[in-house]
């Protein structure tokens, strides 16, 4: 089972017990975090696609540590002009571990749509109306 989740403005493909580096979160180390913006769920081949998010689905995670990423060097140069700029950047990151994916809302929403036309009268009534309409058309 996996899910595609939006965390801090970026989309990640996550599954249970996966460790992910995301942009710095405000939570403290050891805190439990829940992400409700689940864009896609795959439950053993059954794919649920959200519009834009899957209703009732969430991903739970635990904050492991806060750290800084590798240094990125930004170097700009224009040839034959004597222009050089060197700049560096280290991104603040948070390492999280996915503890579980809950799909309680997704399973409840699907049966409601199927359960509506369950009565036999509701299915037979339109057929009778169509049959009456055909008889009237042939008599005229």
Strand pairing class (38-43; 46-49): antiparallel
Looking at residue 106, its pLDDT comes to 41
In a domain, 80, yes or no: yes
Looking at residue 118, its pLDDT comes to: 52
Look at residue 122 and tell me if it is in a domain: no
Q: Into how many domains does the chain fold?
A: 1
Q: 88 is in which domain, residue-wise?
A: 2-103
pLDDT in tens, 83-123: 999 999 999 999 999 999 998 754 443 444 455 555 555 55
In a domain, 24, yes or no: yes
Q: Is residue 62 part of a domain?
A: yes
Q: Tell me the whole-structure pTM to 2 decimals.
A: 0.67
Taking a C-beta distance cutoff of 8 angstroms, is the pair 54, 48 a contact? Answer: yes
- For residue 136, is it within any domain? no
Residue 82 included in any domain: yes
Contacts of 66 (CB under 8 A, 6+ apart): 24, 29, 92, 93, 94, 95
Output the DSSP codes for the chain: -EEEEEETTEEEEEETT-EEEEEPPSSPTT-EEEE--EEEEEETTEEEE-SSS-TT-EEEEEEEEEEEEEEEEEEEEETTTTEEEEEEEEEEEEEEEEEEEE-HHHHHHHHHHHHTT-SHHHHHHHHHHHHHHHHHHHH-
- pLDDT digit string, tens, across residues 30-63: 999 999 999 999 999 999 999 999 999 999 999 9
Query: What is the model's pLDDT at position 87?
Result: 98
Higher confidence at residue 70 or residue 115? 70
Averaged pLDDT for residues 4-25: 96
Domain contains 42 = yes
Q: Is residue 18 a part of any domain in this protein?
A: yes
- What pLDDT, on a 0 to 100 scale, did the predictor assign at position 20? 97
């Amino acid at each position: 089972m996996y899910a595609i989740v939006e965390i801090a403005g970026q989309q990640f493909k996550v599954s249970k017990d996966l460790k992910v580096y995301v942009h710095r979160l405000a939570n403290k180390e050891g805190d439990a975090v829940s992400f409700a913006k689940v864009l896609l769920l795959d439950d053993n081949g059954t794919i649920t696609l959200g519009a834009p998010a899957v209703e009732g689905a969430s991903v739970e995670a635990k904050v492991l540590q806060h750290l800084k990423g590798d240094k990125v060097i930004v170097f700009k140069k224009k040839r034959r002009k004597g222009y050089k700029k060197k700049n560096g950047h280290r991104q603040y990151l948070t390492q999280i571990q996915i503890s579980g994916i809950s799909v309680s809302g997704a399973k409840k929403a699907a049966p409601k749509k199927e359960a509506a036309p369950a009565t036999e009268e509701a299915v037979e009534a339109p057929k009778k109306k169509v049959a009456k309409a055909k008889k009237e058309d042939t008599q005229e």
